[in-house]
Amino acid sequence: MLKKVLSLTVAALLSIGLLSACGGEDESSAVSLNVDQAAETLVSQLTFQDEMLKLEDSVLEKFYDVDPDAVGDIAVYTATSGVKAEEVAVVQVKDGGSDTVKAMLDSRLEDQIAKYEGYAPEEMPKLENPVMEEKNGYYFFILADDQDAAREAIDGLFA
């Protein structure tokens, strides 16, 4: 009799566990960011050597080849002096646009490498190890001295 009660109890607990695991909400669909606020938050939480300036849409188009079929929204901050390779970009990715956004960010990185490798080689460590992450429908591109802090700040946006 004790074996039967124990077996039923274990079966009931397993069933409850399975049902609760299936009933949870998908984290990626539950989180929505305002890209302007997210980029501003990242800039304020990270340490940069230069003052950071938000790029206006008209200027942004000169630096990023934004595909409106792949990008829902975008916010970018860059170093004001142009002497430092410091940048924060937050990109909302439309369904099916991940590869296009990745290619856009890779192209921007290549442009920055070409600019800084002869002009300011001391900036190359940031460019050789950028933070480029896709998370919950957003791409993050950060050029900063402390990549670990940048990754933690990105995670913090979803906490």
Environment class of residue 22 by beta-carbon count within 10 Å: exposed (0-12), middle (13-18) or buried (19+)? exposed
Amino acid at residue number 50: D
Which pTM value belongs to this model?
Answer: 0.80
What tens digit of pLDDT does each residue of 40-99 get?
999 999 999 999 999 998 888 889 989 999 999 999 999 999 899 999 999 999 999 999
Confidence grade of residue 23 (pLDDT, cut at 50, 70, 90): very low
Residue boundaries of the structural domains of the chain: 31-157
What tens digit of pLDDT does each residue of 98-131 get?
999 999 999 999 999 999 999 899 999 999 999 9
Asked if residue 65 lies in contact with residue 107, where contact means CB atoms within 8 angstroms, the answer is yes
Q: What's the distance, CA 142 to chain centroid?
A: 8
